[in-house]
Structure 1
């Protein structure tokens, strides 16, 4: 009976992940389309573009990759640039691993960490209670192919579409990300304050000339550590309160103890 219930929970979590990941896939397709145009300028074939986007799930990281390719730079430089551009995902993976049940195997943690993106992290960390890895898998299985296929279509289409149209399509992704953080901020004033502080700090950092030499990903990583760490120190969540929230989430979802 217990095993059967667990299978049902995993299946439901996977289906919910696909449902929540579908709009993300649409946004990814639009953004990756513009990346595909850059990839074509760098000389990548549709298959190479698909493989690149399937293994690298970040617009900034891929853009940096294609820029390095066009500059005919060595592989070591490319690896370093991509590492710096995608550094913030290390923080996201560590943060999301705390959402798993303590019994969750390291295999699930590694696989979920591989597919982390800003939006998938947002919907996964926003789930109440302990996170079922199958939910993240469901979001990944629909969203990540959308990212890779968008790159392929951009390479195939080339410069057929006007740049203004491609730019307009990419706005959908930012609107979707706003839709992820707004509900959480309305329910929790601490989260609301953290989001406001993040916006202000990001704007301030972008205007400081001394920091122009630091990549955007590094800036985001540093701000994430400072702001999240400050919020954790000033507004800690006690174990009893967190346990009560988890229990309430299970009750709402109809899950057994």
Structure 2
């Protein structure tokens, strides 16, 4: 009896991991050219190849890595680098807090820390759209391939930094934004809450960007303010119970 239950448990663990891996394939493919660009930029800026690869293996932060590395190349002080990357990356804390409300029961603190390490804009979007509780195997599968894609892309970019023309290097910078749009638009078309929250975040971010009165607000703070306000309104207007029972769908 115990053997049968153990085998059944292993089956569900493997099933969740495979499902998460399947959902992560577009993210991993999209991360490769973006991190390739990061590897090119960092090595051309004078940072050793092994350090560039180590940065990507310990920091899955996209915009934070680009900003922090640019400051390193520019010779900025440690305090400026720390504050800038903290401001840009603090949104991952908000995303992790949001996902913690969807986690299945019984997930240990260690597993939560592992899951939090792999939370990015894209993995958060995919996980948040799941109409079920998030298990550790599902999240592990969702985060593993993007992590490998990010690290592998960085290594490849660092290795061939002098071979590609500058115009092609610059064009890769829009890959992350294109991928994020491709993730958000289908979900927003199917779900009214997702559409409202995304639209609210875009409106707030645009207001902070283009109105002269907010010209002193940095890009990192725009992200934080937009995320907090949009997520708060989404939580107030569309409770989790309503979304799970289909009340928020078109």
TM-score range, shorter chain: 0.7 to 0.9
CA distance in 1, matches of 2:88, 2:244: 36
Is 1:230 paired with 2:233? yes
Cα distance in 2 between the residues matched to 1:6 and 1:158: 46
Q: TM-score, normalised on structure 1?
A: 0.85
| Per-residue Cα deviation, 1:182-227 (whole angstroms, up to 9, x for no partner) | 3322222232122222222222211123433333222111111111
Partner deviation per Cα, 1:131-170 (whole Å, 9 max, x = no partner): 1121221122211121122122222222422233234444
Between the aligned partners of 2:104 and 2:77, the Cα distance in structure 1 is 42
- Give ranges in structure 1 of 5+ residues lacking alignment: 246-257
1:126 to 116, 124, 129: 129
235 and 243 in structure 1: CA distance in 2 versus 1, 3 angstrom threshold? closer
TM-score, structure 2 as length reference: 0.87
Cα distance, 1:155–1:19 mapped onto 2, change above 3 Å: same
Matched, 1:6 2:14: no
* CA RMSD after TM alignment: 2.1
Is residue 212 of structure 1 aligned with residue 215 of structure 2? yes
Q: 1:1-257 residue pairs with structure 2 within 5 A? A: 1-238=4-241, 241=242
1:250 equivalent in structure 2 = none
- Cα distance per residue 1:102-132 (max 9 Å; x no partner): 3222222111101111111111121221011
Q: Deviations over 1:48-87 (max 9, x none)?
A: 1111011111222111221221233343432222211211
Q: Distance in 2 between matches of 1:234 and 1:128?
A: 18
The 2-side partners of 1:149 and 1:213 are apart by 37
Q: Provide structure 2 residue ranges, at least 5 long, that are not aligned to the other structure.
A: none
- State the alpha-carbon separation in 2 of the partners of residues 243 and 232 from structure 1: 13
Q: For 1:55 and 1:118, how far apart are their aligned partners in 2?
A: 17
